[in-house]
A and B are shown apart, each in its own frame.
Chain A
Amino acid sequence: GESVGLHLPTLSVQEGDNSIINCAYSNSASDYFIWYKQESGKGPQFIIDIRSNMDKRQGQRVTVLLNKTVKHLSLQIAATQPGDSAVYFCAEINTGKLIFGQGTTLQVKP
């Protein structure tokens, strides 16, 4: 869903550990979901997507899980690296518009 005036939560993990970032979306009619990574001062960068007819999709070191029953998405990053430090947003497509969720700041400790 849309985050109006909410500051981003932070997830701090040790390098090499797995990270799980969660997101709640707002519209049960949304049929496509995307995870983005945003580094400071830059635009969002595509990580992985999933359609509503799937519940899991894997990429390189990343996995997205979709639970439509509770309108929940998660992004799992395996063997988290310092370069993974960024802000992560989920986004949903509804009526042709890409709507961003709240976002989470991921901090990777060396």
Chain B
Amino acid sequence: GAVVSQHPSRVICKSGTSVKIECRSLDFQATTMFWYRQFPKQSLMLMATSNEGSKATYEQGVEKDKFLINHASLTLSTLTVTSAHPEDSSFYICSARVGDDFYGYTFGSGTRLTVV
């Protein structure tokens, strides 16, 4: 089946530094990927939609200059949290739409970001 690999699974960084999270589709091409953020004991909140070869579309309230998304190939999307602060500590999860299946989504295993 379609597999999405997300890396790293855990990262701790100092306040003010930037962190990059990678999301790769291993056995399929993903023209569209999605980035979610999840705080403890809460639901997944969609941050942005990442489209290969074009600019990402951000949800309302998400700072695009802080959360940089790059989708340069059909198998890789990256999320960079710039100038991270403790309030950015969260669980970040990517998802990819599988091929032309408008209704098929598969998820990465998530990245636990802790900013100290």
A97–B46 CB distance below 8 A: yes
B42–A42 CB distance below 8 A: no
A2 and B110 contact, Cβ closer than 8 Å, known pairs A43-B6, A44-B93, A98-B95:
no
CB under 8 Å from chain B, chain A span 71-108: 89, 93, 96-103
A41–B112 CB distance below 8 A: yes
- Residue-wise interface mask of A (39-61) relative to B, using a CB-CB cutoff of 8 A (1 in contact, 0 not): 00111111001000000000000
Q: Report the count of interface residues on A (CB-CB < 8 A).
A: 26
A41–B103 CB distance below 8 A: no
Contacts of B112 in A (CB 8 A): 41
B43–A3 CB distance below 8 A: yes
Q: Which of A4-12, A14-22, A62-70 contacts B (4 or more CB under 8 A)?
A: A4-12
Contacts of A46 in B (CB 8 A): 105-106
- Residue-wise interface mask of B (10-51) relative to A, using a CB-CB cutoff of 8 A (1 in contact, 0 not): 000000000000000000000010101000011111100100
A32 and B43 contact, Cβ closer than 8 Å, known pairs A42-B109, A98-B34, A98-B95:
no
A43–B107 CB distance below 8 A: yes
List the A residue with the shortest CB-CB distance to B36: A100
A9–B97 Cα gap in the complex (Å)?
29
B41–A99 CB distance below 8 A: no
B44–A89 CB distance below 8 A: yes
A42–B93 Cα gap in the complex (Å)?
9
Which residues of A are interface residues toward B (Cβ below 8 A)?
A: 2-8, 32, 34, 41-46, 49, 89, 93, 96-103
Query: Mind listing 8 A-B residue pairs with CB under 8 Å?
Result: A4-B45, A8-B43, A32-B103, A43-B107, A44-B107, A49-B103, A98-B95, A102-B43
Given contacts A46-B105, A46-B106, 19 further A-B contacts (CB under 8 A): A2-B45, A3-B42, A5-B42, A7-B41, A32-B103, A42-B110, A43-B107, A43-B108, A43-B109, A43-B110, A45-B107, A97-B34, A98-B95, A99-B46, A100-B44, A100-B45, A101-B43, A102-B43, A103-B42
